[in-house]
């Protein structure tokens, strides 16, 4: 039984909620930008972004067991976002989403923060490999690593 389906407009608020919570929990400790993480980044702002850019929803899959527990967005062959509600981590949801997206789209590229060791290990377990390619995170001293499948 698969709990993965294409995202629809009714999923937007839940997707935004998961994204905000994950960003604050996992990225704020790296960037420590109070104004962004606790003012600009909000469920309302992300919901408005999703509504203004319907391709963000169209390019997403959700893991739905009566409640959306995670989602993935792929643009072309690049994984743009993969978030799982922290309360549901460690249950195979992220792996199921990643595997489904790779199968459906042929996704073979993603960006991951160099300091995010757990994410790097996760992607490696799912067939992605580190490359020497780096990309600076806008307006910071941090870098993304490009991983390829």
Contacts of 108 (CB under 8 A, 6+ apart): 77, 102, 148, 149
- Confidence bin at 1 (pLDDT 50/70/90): low
Q: Kindly report the CATH number that applies to the domain delimited by 4-107.
A: 3.40.630.30
User: Using CA atoms, how far apart are residues 101 and 33, in angstroms rounded to an integer?
Assistant: 31
Q: How many CB atoms lie within 10 A of CB 20?
A: 20
The model's pTM is 0.92
Q: Which of 1-5, 13-17, 126-130, 144-148 shows the lowest per-residue confidence on average (mean pLDDT)?
A: 1-5
| Pairing mode, strands 78-84 and 109-113 | parallel
| pLDDT tens per residue across span 92-148 | 999 999 999 999 999 999 999 998 999 999 999 999 999 999 999 888 888 999 999
Q: How many CB atoms lie within 10 A of CB 4?
A: 18
């Amino acid at each position: 039984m698969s709990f993965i389906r294409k995202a629809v407009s009714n999923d937007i608020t839940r997707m935004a909620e998961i994204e905000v919570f994950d960003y604050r929990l996992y990225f704020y400790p790296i960037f420590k930008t109070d104004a962004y993480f606790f003012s600009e980044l909000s469920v309302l702002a992300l919901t408005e972004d999703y509504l203004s850019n319907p391709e963000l929803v169209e390019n997403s899959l959700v893991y739905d067991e009566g409640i959306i527990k995670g989602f993935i967005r792929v643009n072309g062959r690049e994984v743009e976002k993969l978030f799982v509600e922290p309360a549901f981590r460690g249950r195979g949801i992220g792996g199921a989403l990643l595997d489904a997206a790779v199968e459906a789209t042929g996704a073979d590229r993603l960006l991951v923060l160099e300091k995010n060791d757990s994410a790097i290990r996760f992607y490696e377990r799912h067939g992605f490999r580190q490359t020497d390619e780096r990309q600076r995170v806008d307006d910071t001293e941090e870098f993304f690593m490009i991983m390829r499948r």
